[in-house]
Amino acid sequence: MRRTLPLHAVAWIVGAFILVPIVYALLGGFKSTDQLSTNPFGLPDPWVTENYTDVLGSGSFWRQLWNSTFIAVATTAIVVLLSAMAAYVFARFAFRGRELLFTVFTVGLMFPFAVAILPIFVMLRTLGLLDNPLGVILTQAAFGLPLTIIILRGFFRSIPGEIEEAATIDGCTPFGFFWRILLPMARPALATVSVLAVVGSWNTFMLPLVVFSDETAWTLPLGVQQFQGQYTSDIARVLAYLVLAMLPALGFYAVAERHLIGGLTAGATKG
Amino acid sequence: MTTLTRGPQAPAPAARARPPRRRRRPWMTITLFVLPALVLFLLLVVAPIVVALYASAFKWNGFGGLPTNFVGLDNFTRLFGTEVFRQDLWHLAVIILLSLGVQLPFSLAIAMLLHQRVRGRAVYRLVFFAPYVLSEVITGVLFSLLLSPDAGLANQILGVFGLESEWLADTGTVLPSVFLVMTWKYFGFHMMIYLAGRQNIPDELIEAARIDGATPWRVFRHVTLPLLGPTIRISVFLSVIYTIQLFDLVWILTEGGPSHASETMAVTMMEFGFGRNQVGYASAISVVMFGLSLVFALLYQRFVMRRDLEGATTSMGDHR
């Protein structure tokens, strides 16, 4: 214990650096704004629940929550399905031009999204997809393809060829093999890429910022930004909104932590 | 294996007819399976970037079909002659230097610390990584409140020692403040990468060095650090590529202010593209971002990562 004491001290300091802002927001949401300036460090006295209940009672918070969820789920479904199909071909078929085609996708990893935002905006406006969730969903899915295809191709490759041969001999079509054997076997990899896609979609800001001008289409990040602008002087209320907007992401992290970290680190350490 | 028993459901005639068809069928499968992804990718990733390249040579407000008012390289000469844009590049350099010089070494140190058998290290890891899952908007709003000059928590704590600062409102402190927030959000991510990399190093190597009498520092410097090379190089790569397109956090914290002191290329691009409808000029900024990412990625792969990978992009997430 004596040997690890300095280690613990450092870990505690770093932990405080991480946690103090979050705990401050959580407790601050239970204070009034006056309390926040007179009693910034202590526990709320008295505990004010209005900040939280007001947010929960407002339709806009729930609408933004729903919009974020819908967009995240739809984006994930599209990007995972299309990537799995493409990755299947890249992993299990030999044909001329395969590596070139695969490289086209992988180069997409280097394209900063910000580079494409103006043309995408002009394009979505021309197609009438502004203020339409589809504009965000399809764009996000497209930019999610490279990483998803790369991860899935790697996993599909690791499935022994004998299984495919056996299935083919038994009369399985390529589609049958893909749908009934490959995808069920790839469940861990599918879970990983899905978690990455959900977190990515949940947190995007730039794209919905330019696509959605209509308040009813807003996602949580847009709502948080707007709420801060609207209640500049009522800090306690903004903190309550922040905390409630954090909860889904933190909850998801608690559930899917292994897949998230596994997916993020696997790529960076192999090579 | 149970799935295999469900396999033979295809009708027998089809199976018998396969040999002659087999040669043609792969192409159909290949096309049908790749086409949806390819179309989406070409339409929403490749085409927009081509359009941005094209539009950067025009004076264009973004309306009325394709641009027509060709100005050649004027947008770029104007861009590099602008003080704000030159500052953007300077800010990029500063943030990259801070990231590589402070944030990543800090992440590495914490990762080495948590690799020890410290009680509760699983909890520490969980907590340190948590900010990564919060959106940049939530992080930004949270810290804009914490760092607000009068009522913010930071000044209320530091006020006790008489160390209040204007943080985001002062041109001198704004960039370090933004960097502090970036570190809060991202050091856990890099820490996780380093931890995973460290776990791939066989403990025997470390043990051997220790038995040979190397001090802990020398073990780290001459055994652990070189073996972590590939991991560190990837994390540097990700950090630089992220910084080139930094937007959300800066937009929420400062909108690039005060007086452009924390502005980034992406912020300038958004201001001109959406605030002033100068889409051609803003596209030129996009093209510079694109060019910087591309040149950096190519040079980095060619000279820094060549020993690690056949290519940074093709190996990320590849489980081969």
B164, B187, B314, B315: which to substitute to probe chain A, counting the most A Cβ within 10 Å? B314
Separation in Å, CA of A43 to nearest CA in chain B: 14
What pLDDT shows up at residue B314?
37
Tens digits of per-residue pLDDT, B48-67? Answer: 999 999 888 888 887 877 78
Spatial separation of the C-alpha atoms in residues B57 and B284, rounded to whole Å: 8
Residue B134: is its pLDDT beyond 90?
Answer: yes
Would you call A110 and B317 a contact, using CB atoms and an 8 Å cutoff?
A: no
What pLDDT shows up at residue A232?
81
Residue A271: is its pLDDT beyond 90?
Answer: no
| Pick from B239, B235, B305, B225: nearest CA to B99 | B239
What pLDDT shows up at residue B7?
39
What pLDDT shows up at residue B2?
37
Q: What is the mean pLDDT of residues B252-262?
A: 89
Tens digits of per-residue pLDDT, A18-72? Answer: 999 999 999 988 988 888 878 878 888 888 888 899 889 988 999 999 999 999 9
Please say whether the beta carbons of A218 and A241 come within 8 A: no
The amino acid occupying position A45 is D
Percent of chain A surpassing pLDDT 90: 49
Residue B41: is its pLDDT beyond 90?
Answer: yes
CB of A183 within 8 Å of a chain B CB? The answer is: no
Percent of chain B surpassing pLDDT 90: 44
Rg (CA), chain B: 26
- Look up residue A196 and give its two tokens: 């990455």
What pLDDT shows up at residue A34?
83
Up-side HSE of residue B120: CA atoms within 13 Å toward CB?
Answer: 12
Spatial separation of the C-alpha atoms in residues B190 and B239, rounded to whole Å: 9
Highest mean pLDDT among A2-16, A45-59, B134-148: B134-148
Give the DSSP letter string of A192-221.
HHHHHHHHHHHH--HHHHHH--SGGG--HH
Tell which A residues from 12 to 31 touch B, by Cβ distance under 8 Å.
Answer: 14-15, 17-22, 24-25
Tell which B residues from 241 to 260 touch A, by Cβ distance under 8 Å.
Answer: 241, 244-245, 247-248, 251-252
Residue B163: is its pLDDT beyond 50?
Answer: yes
What pLDDT shows up at residue A259?
85
Residue A16's pLDDT band (boundaries 50, 70, 90)?
very high
Separation in Å, CA of B181 to nearest CA in chain A: 10
What pLDDT shows up at residue B21?
43
Neighbours of A248 (CB within 10 A): 16
Spatial separation of the C-alpha atoms in residues A159 and A84, rounded to whole Å: 14
Tens digits of per-residue pLDDT, A68-104? Answer: 999 999 999 999 999 999 999 999 888 888 989 998 8
What pLDDT shows up at residue B1?
35
**Max Cα-Cα span within chain A:** 77
Contacts of B3 in chain A (CB under 8 A): 180-181, 184-185
CB of B93 within 8 Å of a chain A CB? The answer is: no
Separation in Å, CA of A58 to nearest CA in chain B: 19
What pLDDT shows up at residue A3?
67
Q: What is the mean pLDDT of residues B209-225?
A: 89
What pLDDT shows up at residue A2?
58
Tell me the C-alpha to C-alpha distance, in Å, between residue B215 and each of B110, B211, B254, B266: 19, 10, 46, 46
Q: Please report the beta strands in chain B, taking only residues with DSSP state E, as ranges in sequence order.
A: 58-59, 69-70
What pLDDT shows up at residue B160?
79
Residues near A188 by beta carbon (within 8 Å), at least 6 away in sequence:
A155, A259
Would you call A171 and B114 a contact, using CB atoms and an 8 Å cutoff?
A: no
Residue B20's pLDDT band (boundaries 50, 70, 90)?
very low
CB of A117 within 8 Å of a chain B CB? The answer is: yes
Q: What is the mean pLDDT of residues B39-44?
A: 94
Give the DSSP letter string of B219-263.
HIIIIIHHHTHHHHHHHHHHHHHHHHT--HHHHHHTTT-STTTT-
Tens digits of per-residue pLDDT, B2-16? Answer: 334 443 444 444 444
What is the helix (H) or strand (E) element at residue A144, kind and residue range? helix A133-157
B137, B144, B238: which to substitute to probe chain A, counting the most A Cβ within 10 Å? B137
A67, A81, A202, A269: which to substitute to probe chain B, counting the most B Cβ within 10 Å? A269
Q: Which of A31-35, A38-42, A264-268, B273-277 has the lowest mean pLDDT?
A: A264-268
Would you call A112 and B293 a contact, using CB atoms and an 8 Å cutoff?
A: yes
Would you call B135 and A37 a contact, using CB atoms and an 8 Å cutoff?
A: no
Q: What is the ipTM of this complex?
A: 0.90
Up-side HSE of residue B96: CA atoms within 13 Å toward CB?
Answer: 17
Nearest CA in chain A to B280: A118
Q: Residue B187 burial (CB < 10 Å; 0-12/13-18/19+)?
A: buried
Residue B304's pLDDT band (boundaries 50, 70, 90)?
confident
CB of B280 within 8 Å of a chain A CB? The answer is: no
Residue B311: is its pLDDT beyond 80?
Answer: no
Helix (H, G, I), strand (E, B) or coil at B312: helix
